[in-house]
Amino acid sequence: MNEPTCPAADMICRTVELGVTIIGAAVDIDDRTHIFCQILDPDPRCPGCDVAGQRRDHVDRVLTDVPAAGRPVLLHVAVPRFVCSTVDCSRSVFRADITTITAPRAVMTRRTGRWILQRIAIDKMSVAAVAAQLGIDWATVNTVAVESARALVYDGGHLAGVRHLGVDEHKWKHVRGQGDSGWVTVLIDLTPVVEGTGPARLLDMIAGRSKMVLKTWMGGRDQRFRDRVKVVAMDGFTGYKTATAEELPAARIVMDPFHVVRLAGEKLDRCRTRVQQDTCGHRGRAGDPLYMVRRILHTRTELLTGKQKVRLFEALTSRDEHVAVEVTHQIYLQIIAAYEHPQRREGKKLMWKALKRIQKGLPPGLEELAQLGRTLWNRRAEILAYFDVGVSNGPVEAINGRLEHLRGIAQGFRNLDHYILRSLLHSGQLAERINAL
């Protein structure tokens, strides 16, 4: 049964912003609030001839609206119907235009679509939780979120102002035996971090991880975007480097310090395990000297305690065969020291010396270090570029971690399109654009 209301109800439920006024309300057995309203100033003009018609009756349009007082809301809009009196007009009866309230054939108000994006993107709520608050099914909420996000992200404005770009790979689905099908290429806007105006933001994710994947994406952007990008930071994958060089020839390519240090650390571990196997005849065990310092080897000397320094010294000098690990460890620390130097110019000199030292001519027994030297020397231009521009992929790795958390919350995604759009809502810094809808 309808209950009388007052103008204050329009302010509380904010129906005024929809252009309607409340004439009644009720609560059903499912604890849903039904709000009955009528249009304040309906347009009587016929969409066929633009001549005002005569009012005939009204139809009840039921729409899901934003929750009120924590309860789902169904908005019953009395949409007037008019009779067109123009003789040669193709329309005889028409409804008042309510496209400002809802889209044609939609089941919810326009502001509900904005509310859904705000809850998912800003409040980090799950689709199931949003659907429960609205009192509708999961599929409807997900469809609205996906369509709204797609329109918001791919309208062209999302790429405005990008001058520093980060590129990396991301594992979105862990399924064995499917090759690269579970990988995507992630593109991050590093400009806010470099310029100190805010955090990095996710720009896009593309299925696959190859030269052609990145090349196709870059080639699909307009020339203004490609001319505006000045620096592209990436890992050591040659395919990304080649694609960037071909599509963005004026951009400076930077090999990320994180990946350079990680590559050096991997070679150090391989050297240690090889020497361990050669000297002991088995994999590392609790009492083996090299196995005992496996973690200490990756820690800078100034961060070690006195006891750890003694243990490291004894492990590296206990046998002559351990000299390969000692030399590789020294190079590893030199690379870190170059990146840690407070003056980039001096750090660049230290890095150049380290690269030259392991470029070629190493004695036998340093196979891992020789391989590292060849790899880093081939990418020396991109490695040294970091010291000139100071752009790294650190924020990219941070966003990768956030996406891993998102996937865990959702307990896995099966649809890549949904995963990409959900990731953009989660890490695309879209809050201001969503609130402006």
Q: Are residues 15 and 101 in the same domain?
A: yes
Reported as a single tens digit per residue, the pLDDT across 42-58 is 888 888 888 888 888 88
Within a domain: 33:
yes
Q: Are residues 164 and 193 in the same domain?
A: yes
Q: Are residues 407 and 299 in the same domain?
A: no
Per-residue pLDDT at 180 exceeds 70: no
Q: What is the mean pLDDT of residues 292-311?
A: 92
The CATH number of whichever domain residue 204 belongs to comes to 3.30.420
Within a domain: 122:
no
Q: Are residues 261 and 249 in the same domain?
A: no
CA distance 32 to 418: 29
In total, how many domains does the chain have?
A: 3
Report strand pairing: 252-255 vs 231-234. parallel
Reported as a single tens digit per residue, the pLDDT across 213-223 is 999 999 988 89
Q: Are residues 399 and 251 in the same domain?
A: yes
Write out the residue range of the structural domain in which residue 178 sits: 160-255+394-419
Within a domain: 426:
no
Per-residue pLDDT at 144 exceeds 70: yes
Q: Are residues 273 and 262 in the same domain?
A: yes
Q: What is the mean pLDDT of residues 65-85?
A: 90
Q: Are residues 398 and 251 in the same domain?
A: yes
Q: For residue 179, what pLDDT is reported?
A: 56
Q: Are residues 284 and 355 in the same domain?
A: yes
Within a domain: 89:
yes
Q: For residue 436, what pLDDT is reported?
A: 67
Q: What is the mean pLDDT of residues 254-267?
A: 93
Per-residue pLDDT at 269 exceeds 90: yes
Q: Are residues 282 and 346 in the same domain?
A: yes
Q: Are residues 27 and 98 in the same domain?
A: yes
Q: Report the Cα 106 to chain-centroid distance in Å.
A: 29
Q: Are residues 1 and 13 in the same domain?
A: yes
Per-residue pLDDT at 10 exceeds 80: no
Within a domain: 100:
yes
- How many C-beta neighbours within 10 Å does residue 182 have? 16
Q: What is the mean pLDDT of residues 341-365?
A: 93
Within a domain: 131:
no
Reported as a single tens digit per residue, the pLDDT across 305-338 is 999 999 999 989 888 889 999 999 999 999 999 9
Average pLDDT, the chain: 87
Per-residue pLDDT at 6 exceeds 60: no
CA distance 22 to 17: 12
Q: For residue 387, what pLDDT is reported?
A: 94
Per-residue pLDDT at 4 exceeds 60: no
Q: For residue 267, what pLDDT is reported?
A: 96
Q: For residue 1, what pLDDT is reported?
A: 38
Q: For residue 367, what pLDDT is reported?
A: 93
**What tokens were used for 379?**
């990418």
Within a domain: 12:
yes
Q: Are residues 263 and 384 in the same domain?
A: yes
Of these ranges, 94-108, 156-170, 251-265, the one predicted with the greatest mean pLDDT is 251-265
Within a domain: 115:
no
